[in-house]
A and B are shown apart, each in its own frame.
Chain A
Amino acid sequence: MGCRDIRETLSAFVDGEASPGESAVVRGHLASCGRCRVLERQMRAVGEGVRQVRGPVPDRFREKVFARLESEGALPNRKKVFPATWRWAVVPLAAAAGLGLFLLTSREVVRGPAPPAPVAARVGTPVPHAPSPQQDVEPLSTEDREMLAMLDLLEDPVAFDANDDAEGMDLLAPGAPAESPHPPRGGRSGA
Chain B
Amino acid sequence: MLLFREGSREAFEELFSRHHRAVVRFAWRMTGDPSSAEEAAQEIFLRIARAAPTYLPTAKFTTWMYTVARRTTLNYLRDTKEDGERIPILLEGEGGDGVYPVQLPGPDDRNPEQVVWEGQLTERFRTALGELPEGQRAAFVLNRGDGLSYEEVAQVLGITAQAVKTRIFRAREVLLSRLSKDLSS
Contacts and interface: CB of A to CB of B under 8 A. Distances in A.
Contact of B175 (A49, A54, A69, A80): A49
Interface string B1-21: 000100111001000100011
Interface residues of A, number: 43
A65 B49 CA distance: 11
Interface string B93-110: 000000000101111010
A81 B25 CA distance: 33
Interface residues of B, number: 56
A11 B113 contact: no
B105 A53 contact: no
A41 interface: yes
Contacts of B141: 50
Given A42-B176, A53-B28, A58 B111 contact: no
Interface stretch (B65-73, B83-91, B122-130): B122-130
B38 A58 contact: yes
Contacts of A74: 46, 49-50
B144 A12 contact: no
Interface stretch (B54-62, B74-82, B165-173): B165-173
B38 A44 contact: no
B41 A61 contact: yes
Interface string A50-82: 111111011001101110110010111110110
Given A53-B122, A53-B125, A58 B112 contact: no
Contacts of B45: 65, 69
A17 interface: yes
Nearest to A4: B99
A61 B129 contact: no
Given A15-B144, A76-B7, A49 B122 contact: yes
A7 interface: yes
Contacts of B38: 58, 61
Question: Which of B25, B45, B112, B117: most chain A CB closer than 10 A?
Answer: B112
Interface stretch (A30-38, A138-146, A162-170): A30-38
A48 interface: yes
B172 A78 contact: no
Interface string B133-144: 000000011011
Contacts of B46: 65, 68-69, 72, 74
A43 interface: yes
A58 B9 CA distance: 23
Nearest to A72: B46
Contacts of A104: none
Given A8-B165, A52-B125, A41 B145 contact: no
A144 B72 CA distance: 83
Contacts of B25: 54-55
A35 B8 CA distance: 56
B107 A35 contact: yes
A15 B41 CA distance: 27
B98 to A, nearest CB: 8
Given A50-B140, A53-B29, A45 B115 contact: yes
25 contacts: A8-B165, A8-B169, A35-B104, A38-B109, A38-B184, A39-B104, A41-B113, A43-B176, A45-B112, A45-B113, A46-B175, A48-B117, A49-B121, A49-B179, A52-B122, A53-B122, A53-B129, A53-B145, A54-B25, A61-B24, A61-B42, A65-B41, A75-B12, A75-B49, A76-B12
Interchain residue pairs A-B with the least CB separation, the first 5: A45-B112, A11-B169, A34-B107, A74-B49, A47-B144
